[in-house]
Every structure is written in structure tokens, then in C-alpha cells.
Amino acid sequence: MPKALPVIDVSAPICCAPIAAAPMDEDTALQLALRLKALADPARIRLMSILLTARGNGVCTCDLAAAIGLSDGTVSHHLGQLKRAGLVASERRGTNVYYRAQVEALEALRGALSSCC
């Protein structure tokens, strides 16, 4: 029987010392891994790239789907994974959903992965 993964809220940016600062405890390593896992897909990296370079108040799911050549449903799935990891935020406007990157969450990940001192 497969081992059940723990339920952890990863929507808030990670806040920890860089991995090179000291040995990381198990809980912090798990939280970092779950956020990195959300990025570990070429389509999600492309979506983040588009969102990070977009100007204005977000990008519509339909425009993201067209930009990376995937269906609206597949893009919605990927965006849902990124949103659960706290890497993107969404806003419904009428029948459309607009997404924007959570830059502070990505900066926190970058800081955790950087070497310190």
C-alpha cells in the first residue's frame, strides 16, 4: 500500500535559512521540496516565465493556454498546482480567471537555495 503524503499548507512563502547555512530539519526540507515539486514540470516553468514577464494585472488562463499550446483544462491543472504551492495568485473576472506570479514566494525559494555566508 502506498504511503500517504502529509497534508501541509504550502501556500505561504517558505521562510528558512539557506540550505548551506546548516543541516536542514525534516519539516523544513519537506516544505521546500513540495514547493520545488510544483515547479518541476516544463509546462509550469513556462507558465511562470510568462507570468513573471507579463505586464498589467495578470494573464487570462485562455491566453496562457494559447501561449504554451496546451488545453485550457491542462493549463488550469498546472496553475492549480502552482497556486497550491503559493507561487501564483488568481483573480476571477467575470467568466475568466487571471493569474499573476507571487514574486515574493519565488524570492523566498531563491533565498533558501542560495549559499549563505
Classify strands 96-101 and 59-60 as parallel, antiparallel or unpaired.
Answer: antiparallel
pLDDT digits (tens, 9 = 90+) for 52-104: 999 888 999 999 999 999 999 999 999 999 999 999 999 999 999 999 999 88
Q: Is the pLDDT of residue 37 over 80?
A: yes
Residues in the chain: 117
DSSP for residue 13: P
CATH number of 43-113, picked from 3.90.1170.20, 1.10.3470.10, 3.90.1200.10, 1.10.10.10:
1.10.10.10
Name 92's bridge partners: 97
d(C-alpha 27, C-alpha 109), whole Å? 15
Confidence of residue 6 (pLDDT cuts 50, 70, 90): low
Q: Where are the domains of the chain?
A: 43-113
d(C-alpha 66, C-alpha 104), whole Å? 27
Looking at residue 68, what is its pLDDT? 96
Confidence of residue 23 (pLDDT cuts 50, 70, 90): confident
Mean pLDDT score across all residues of the chain? 84
